[in-house]
Structure 1
Amino acid sequence: MDGAAEEAGAGTAEGVTGGAAKGADAARAGSVRLDHVVHRYGRGGEAVTAVGPVDLSVPAGEFLVLVGASGCGKSTLLRLIAGFEQPTHGSVRVSGAAPRPGEAAGVVFQAPRLFPWRTVRGNIDLALRYAGVERGQWPRRRAELLARVGLEGTERRRTWEISGGQQQRVAIARALAAERPLFLLDEPFAALDALTRERLQEDVRRVTAQTGRTTVFVTHSADEAVFLGSRIVVLTRSPGTVALDLPIPLPRGDVDADELRNSGEFAELRAQVAHAVRAAAAA
């Protein structure tokens, strides 16, 4: 084989190998891929494009934060990834397949959406039942989940007997019950006071590091985005498209939260994201 043929053959082999590697990565448990996604609400002349086109790949284990001004399509993208809605154009894949509601991911909404007539224990047990966990394993799994979100000793309390922050912790524990490889959170701390919000941010950061789950988190706060994310995507105003795709090189191991928030690098990244959000909203 001459040199040109060898080079062509090597290029072909590399292309095949590279394509296979990309395909394997896209199919990894918890990975997310959006290809040319557009989503519209309504029909005909009254149709409104909420997002798109959006191309986005989220590797397994990444903590991606979607940030942008109100109405830019952040929550729409999250619902598409969860399988609650289908894109008008393009495709969404989770772990290599089209997402199915209730199976693709554990989801936490802005409101806890707990069953008020049930105790904390009852809410967790219901999630374990729907997750297909054997009943004999419920006490151990329940104790693990409550410990993970810092709610030991609350299982016999009614949901209306605990604070808003504790209710959201129960919602997080319930979403973790199914052990899905993907964790979706839609502005879960927006209605909480600043101190509770910071504590829960620290909890989510810790829990996702412990579990290694791929996480997609929606917020409008640059501060929250930089603290939580290993990567931030800023969306333009509606229809939302990607204005900035920014890796966050902050430590994600055992780190003091206050020290991190007060660091110069954190301040620089927060300013960069805040500027990008303002510019994207005004464009």
Structure 2
Amino acid sequence: MSSAEIAIALDGVTRDYGQRGSVVSAVGPVSLSVPAGEFLVLVGASGCGKSTLLRLIAGFEQPTLGTVEITGRAPRPGESAGVVFQQPRLFPWRTVGGNVELALRYAGVPKADRPHLRDELLDRVGLAGVSDRWIWEISGGQQQRVAIARALAGDSSTLLLDEPFAALDALTRERLQEDLRQVSHETGRTIVFVTHSAEEAVFLGSRIVVLTDRPGTTALDLSIDLPRSGVDADDLRTSAEFTRLRAEVAHAVKSAATARHTSRKAAS
């Protein structure tokens, strides 16, 4: 695979916290190459370093060792990738449309072009006709849709999501999973998504990387060959192949956490 086709590259990445004598290793070493257009899901038990790895890719933190690149360059926070967090982090003094327009302004979109692109982005995430509503007037699921639209407003081809649906009810979560899957298919953006749910990982990802317990390293790197479009979501979730893959990922998560926990206990 040529370097031009690699959207994200991690080479021997580790991340430690603390100072000499009280250092905690959160991640690594991790080496990954993510092709352009791939939907990569990072999955693992709580505390395994998934979110830390995402922050390193976003450029919000720097690795202790190793290198991180997005399209051949060190990540630039707020520029190299759109980021969606567990909480929407919207501006409540702005309307739904105002939040998206602000992101378009920061992306350098001319003022005259913003209303059209704002409406296009809101329509893409299923929020047509709500541009003038205030943030507190819409549901938590709708707020996350706004956050995704805002992240898509930039010109980056990379989208990073840190458990964005974790706080939502089951039905809303499934609907947003389906919408995000469609957005991925339509835009062709490279996506890295963090979750602790094997089911969510299999439904969304074209590739899944399971991390061990802290410090997170790669326990399983699995390609997912399920239809990305033209299939009913409920039929997909109840298919034999989906069930098999979900069980494989869930087993890998449990085994990775148990193995690392056992090795730490033995060492002590």
TM-score range, shorter chain: over 0.9
- How many residues align? The count is 259
Letter in 2 for 1:168: Q
- Aligned-pair CA distance for 1:42: 1.1
For residues 87-141 of structure 1, the C-alpha deviation after alignment (integer angstroms, 9 at most, x for no partner) is 0000001001100101110000000000111110111111111111000001110
User: Which of 46, 52, 55 is the matching residue for 1:76?
Assistant: 52
Find the aligned partners of 2:200 and 2:75 in 1 and give their Cα distance.
27
User: Which of 255, 259, 263 is the matching residue for 2:235?
Assistant: 259
Find the aligned partners of 2:119 and 2:149 in 1 and give their Cα distance.
10
User: Which residue matches 1:14?
Assistant: none
Find the aligned partners of 1:38 and 1:149 in 2 and give their Cα distance.
35
Q: Does 1:125 align with 2:101?
A: yes
Q: Does 1:248 align with 2:218?
A: no
Residues 181-192 of structure 1: pairs in structure 2 closer than 5 A: 181-192=157-168
Unaligned runs of 5+ in 2: 260-268
For residues 169-193 of structure 1, the C-alpha deviation after alignment (integer angstroms, 9 at most, x for no partner) is 0000000001310000000000000
User: Which residue matches 1:229?
Assistant: 205
Kept in 1: contact 2:44–2:195 (CA 8 A)? yes
Identity of aligned residues (%): 72
Find the aligned partners of 2:206 and 2:46 in 1 and give their Cα distance.
22
For residues 30-57 of structure 1, the C-alpha deviation after alignment (integer angstroms, 9 at most, x for no partner) is x000000010011111111000000111
Q: Does 1:97 align with 2:77?
A: no
User: Which residue matches 1:156?
Assistant: 132
User: Which residue matches 2:5?
Assistant: 25
- Aligned-pair CA distance for 1:253: 2.0
Q: Does 1:272 align with 2:248?
A: yes
User: Which of 30, 33, 36 is the matching residue for 1:60?
Assistant: 36
Kept in 1: contact 2:43–2:211 (CA 8 A)? yes
Q: Secondary structure at 1:33's aligned position in 2?
A: strand
- Aligned-pair CA distance for 1:255: 1.6
User: Which residue matches 1:281?
Assistant: 257
Q: Secondary structure at 2:148's aligned position in 1?
A: helix
User: Which residue matches 1:171?
Assistant: 147
Q: Secondary structure at 2:67's aligned position in 1?
A: strand
Letter in 2 for 1:78: L
Letter in 2 for 1:85: E
Unaligned runs of 5+ in 1: 1-20
- Aligned-pair CA distance for 1:22: 3.2
CA RMSD of aligned residues (A): 0.8
User: Which residue matches 2:178?
Assistant: 202
Find the aligned partners of 1:277 and 1:56 in 2 and give their Cα distance.
18
Find the aligned partners of 2:190 and 2:216 in 1 and give their Cα distance.
22
TM value normalised by structure 2: 0.95
Residues 106-125 of structure 1: pairs in structure 2 closer than 5 A: 106-125=82-101
Find the aligned partners of 1:38 and 1:223 in 2 and give their Cα distance.
28
Structure 1 segments, 4+ long, off by >2 Å, are 21-26
Find the aligned partners of 2:152 and 2:134 in 1 and give their Cα distance.
20
Letter in 1 for 2:191: T
For residues 138-163 of structure 1, the C-alpha deviation after alignment (integer angstroms, 9 at most, x for no partner) is 11101100100110111111100100
User: Which of 62, 71, 74 is the matching residue for 1:86?
Assistant: 62
Find the aligned partners of 1:279 and 1:179 in 2 and give their Cα distance.
39
Find the aligned partners of 1:92 and 1:274 in 2 and give their Cα distance.
28
Find the aligned partners of 2:3 and 2:47 in 1 and give their Cα distance.
33
Find the aligned partners of 2:197 and 2:89 in 1 and give their Cα distance.
23
Deviates more, 1:247-256 or 1:58-67: 247-256
User: Which residue matches 1:239?
Assistant: 215
Kept in 1: contact 2:121–2:152 (CA 8 A)? yes
Find the aligned partners of 1:191 and 1:261 in 2 and give their Cα distance.
21
Find the aligned partners of 2:4 and 2:154 in 1 and give their Cα distance.
24
